[in-house]
Structure formats: structure tokens, C-alpha cells
Amino acid sequence: MSDPLYLVLVIDRDVGVAADVGRALLGLSVAVLRASERAEGIRFHREFLPQLVLLDSELDDREVPLHDLFANDSALEVVLMTDRWTQAGVLASVARGASDLLTKPLEPSKVRQLVLGLIAQAETRRHTQELDSELLQAYQFQGIVGRSPRMLEVFSRVRRVAPLFQTALITGPTGTGKELIARALHHLSPRSREKFVVCNCSALTETLLESQLFGHVKGAFTGATHDQAGLFEYANRGTLFLDEIGELSLAAQAKLLRILQNRELQRVGSPVASTVDVHVIAATNRNVRELAYKGQFREDLFYRLAMIEIQLPPLSERKEDLPLLERHFLQHFSTKYSKELKGISRRAQILMTRHPWPGNVRELENVIGNACMMAQGKLVSDQDLPEAIRAQMVRPDSRAGFMTLEEVQSRHLEYVLKLVDGNKARAAQVLGVSRATVYGMLARRTRPVDPKNDLSA
């Protein structure tokens, strides 16, 4: 198999520049594309997805970050070319996302060295993506993705108790995957080939709740025109998952306790007790211990259920799982929407890392699903994310993931001052500016400095 081709896009009105680049890269597995205008280059990028863009600074749009010109392609390296660099221009270009800078006329050895280095970086990224895919496969447990210590402990607990449990309680905030854990318990149990029945207790009205759970006989109430089996009977020999069990009334809880203790139930309106063999998994996002303490939940039922309790952490406490979850949902929705999505841009990943995820994994799934639907290219960019997540990007020290020129200068001044032990006169000499310029930069950053009282000068 031949080596993968590395694409270089040269955007320059001078046709000779692309020819010089091509000659400099002879013998390498590289193809050179040429565009004479920025709009044409953007179109070529969208069509061919080059790994490197060499952009003439005369065609640059200095008002926006460089990667914004190319759909926030996180794998793209953008190098600016010009024949007249200034210190301010260099700082501004780096702040806007330039990977490197080249001086015209181009030196073939520098171009070749630059591309060789970027090819090595691209290979590292490709290898990392392959490892990420392997990790995604390695850290899936019954369709649940996670490699954080908290989730690995949950997986271990599920494996241990699944062959033995009769009742179990799963707790955790909404959207953490309680039903997935319940299904894992069922699938790893000896009853995996039997029914797994789901009941959302919060969706049942109080008048019909007992009938839905335990069944009824003909004439038990108005509208009961025939005998009807409840969910417990339907799930016989299998597993019944009672979601949001904290919403059950105390009367329903008493009947549930009877079934768990005696394996017997009575249909509404019937004096006859029948035997059922059901494993019960309950789940809630509420603090059942507190409810029991307040008398809003039967203590005896709580202790019966909590003999085996599995607690799921919120996503905010397992942020190390975010990259795997993002890749998992990206693959899922790429297939679902028949799109060839290659990844998520760096800026979008940063935004999702900063988000607190109050809706947990379910919210993340919805966000990535929507973003995959909105994505127009082969990358999910920050512009594809909901406004609520994009709004986090504006911060005092960062704008759209990049620093302003003033912020770059301020941080560089800080670095130089540390090197010269705070001596501002020496810092001015190192920076090639006047002492007054240094004082002016410090004044904008903090408060005015009086040179007469500055002992370090």
C-alpha cells in the first residue's frame, strides 16, 4: 500500500510560488494545489481537505481568526507568506492561529523542512485517532462508554451483582444512563433471554397506577370491561425496570413491597393472590434516603431495594470520558444521517469541555446529534453547536479560542520580566522598545507606574 498523500494548498496570485513549493517538495508523497484568490482557496479546501495551506498575507482577512476562513478545520495547518514581516505582524498572525510564517522569496530548504515537520505531526494525529478508536472499543461496556475511575467502578459492580441480584436500586441525576445500567444488569443475568419491561412511574396517573402495575379484573372500576394483566405479570420470569420509583404513592409502595417479599400480587378488584417471579430494578434521580427520613417513601421498601445500590456520577464528575463519548456519538450520528464526518474541531471540543452539562450524557447526545445534523462539511465546528454552549467562548482572556494582540504582548512582557528579575529597563532592552513603552504596557494592564518610584528601573 502506498503512503497516504499529503495535500498542500498554495493560495497566491503569483503562479511561480506554487511552482517553487512543488520543486521544494520533490520526492515527497505530497501533492500541491494552487488557488489564485482566497475565495477559490476556500472552495478548494472544502472540496479536497488539504492538511496544509500556504496563504499569501495579501489575501488574508485580518479581521477573523485564520481557521475561521477554513471551516474551523482542526487538522489544518495555516502558514502565512509575505516579503515584509514586522514584529507586530508576527504577533498578530500567531495570535490569529498561524502555524508558522515564511518569508518571500521562499527558501526551498525551509519549505521542505516545514512540510516534513507538519507531515510528522499529521502522522502523529492519525495514529492518535486510531488509538482513540481502539480506546472507544476497549472502554465500552454493554453499550455504555466510559473510562473514568467512577464509571469503571460502576461497570465492575454491575458485573459482580448481575448474576445474583433479585432487586436493585440505581440512583443518579437525570440523563446519566440509569436505564442503560438496568439493561446491562438484565443482559448479564441468567434471565437475559427473558423480557425486560420498562415502566416510567412518573408517567402513570394515580388512578391507573395500580392497574398498570398489578392488573385488574373485569368490573373493578368504570371502564374495566375485561381482565387485564399488569406489568408484573407481563414481566414474569424476566426483569421489570421501575424508573422514577420515587413518584410512587405510599399505597402503591406497600403493594410493591408485598410482591418483593412474598412474590405475590393481587389484581385490582380481585381477592385472589397469584405468584410471580420477577427481578425488579428501580431507579430514581431523587434522594430516596431523604424521602424515607421525611416519611415520603417507605423505609422498609427502600432498604429492600437498596440491598444492591448502584450510584451513577453526573457527567461533570467524569469529564475524562468526554472525548470518548463525543467520538461515540459522532460515529453513531454520522451513520444515522449518512454523513462522512471526520471529527470535531478543536474549538468545539474546548467549548464542550467548559460546559457544565446539567443534562449529563443525554444532553451531550442531543447536542452532538443536532450538531451532526447541522454540519455542512466533514467537521463538526463550534458554529454547529447550540447558542447556549457557544456563548461561553467570550471570556476576558480568550476570544474564540485566540488571544488578542494586546494579550499576546502583555503575556510576553510578563515572561521577559521574569527572565530579567523584574528589571524594566533590561526588559525594554530585550524587547527592543523604549522604557516608556514598557511602562505604558504595564499601565494598561494594571495601574499607572511612576518611574521615579520604581526601584527596579
CA distances from 419 to 88, 124, 202 (A): 22, 33, 64
Supply the pTM of this predicted model: 0.68
* pLDDT for position 66: 79
Residues 156 and 301 in one domain: yes
- The answer to the question of residue 141 being in a domain is no
Which of 136, 163, 184 finishes a domain? 136
Do residues 160 and 185 share a domain?
yes
Tell me the pairing of strands 239-243 and 343-344: unpaired
Asked if 374 and 416 sit in the same domain, the reply is no
Mean pLDDT of the 310-332 span:
94
The reported pLDDT for the residue numbered 196 is 97
- For residue 424, the domain's CATH number is 1.10.10
CATH number of the domain that residue 331 is part of: 1.10.8.60
For residues 267 and 361, membership in a common domain is answered with no
Same domain, 153 and 290: yes
Residue 142 within a domain? no
Number of domains in the chain: 4
User: For all residues of the chain together, what is the average pLDDT?
Assistant: 84
The CATH number that applies at residue 23 is 3.40.50.2300
Same domain membership, residue 255 and residue 167: yes
Assigned domain for 425 exists:
yes
Locate the DSSP E strands across 37-76: 52-56
In a domain, 398, yes or no: no
User: Is residue 409 assigned to a domain?
Assistant: yes
* Bridge partners (DSSP) listed for residue 9: 33, 53
Longest dimension (CA), the chain: 99
278, 311, 344 - which closes a domain: 311
pLDDT at 4 > cutoff 60: no
Q: What pLDDT, on the 0 to 100 scale, is given for residue 399?
A: 43
What DSSP assignment string belongs to 102-144?
EESSPPHHHHHHHHHHHHHHHHHHHHHHHHHHHHHHHTEETTE
Closest by alpha carbon to 3, among 32, 27, 34, 33? 27
Of the candidates 187, 417, 176, 120, the residue with the CA atom closest to the CA atom of residue 318: 176
Same domain, 324 and 294: no
Please enumerate in sequence order all residues whose Cβ is within 8 A of that of 135, keeping only pairs 6 or more positions apart, or say none.
147, 324
239-243/196-200 β-pairing? parallel
58 domain-assigned: yes
pLDDT in tens, 222-260: 777 788 888 999 999 999 999 999 988 888 898 889 899
Of the candidates 126, 143, 125, the residue with the CA atom closest to the CA atom of residue 328: 143
Tell whether 106 and 49 lie within a shared domain: yes
pLDDT band at 111 (very low <50, low <70, confident <90, very high): very high
Whether residues 389 and 421 share a domain: the answer is no
Q: Is residue 143 domain-resident?
A: no
pLDDT tens digits along 50-109: 889 999 988 887 777 777 777 666 668 899 998 888 887 788 888 888 888 999 999 999
Residue 361: inside a domain: yes
Final residue belonging to a domain, choices 279, 311, 343? 311
How confident is residue 415, by pLDDT bands cut at 50, 70 and 90? Answer: low
Residue 451 has pLDDT above 70, yes or no: no
- ω into residue 50 within 30 of 0, thus cis? no
CA dihedral 120, 123, 128, 132 (to 10 degrees): 170
Identify whether residues 71 and 56 lie together within a single domain: yes
Same-domain check for residues 305 and 178 = yes
Tell me the per-residue pLDDT of 332-371, one tens digit each, with 9 for 90 and over: 999 999 998 888 887 888 889 989 999 999 999 999 999 9
Nearest to 376 by CA among 75, 79, 45: 45
Task: Work out whether strand 264-266 and strand 273-275 pair parallel, antiparallel, or are unpaired.
Answer: antiparallel
Pairing of strands 279-284, 239-243: parallel
Nearest to 34 by CA among 51, 57, 17: 17
Give the domain range for residue 17: 6-136
Same-domain status, 247 and 334: no
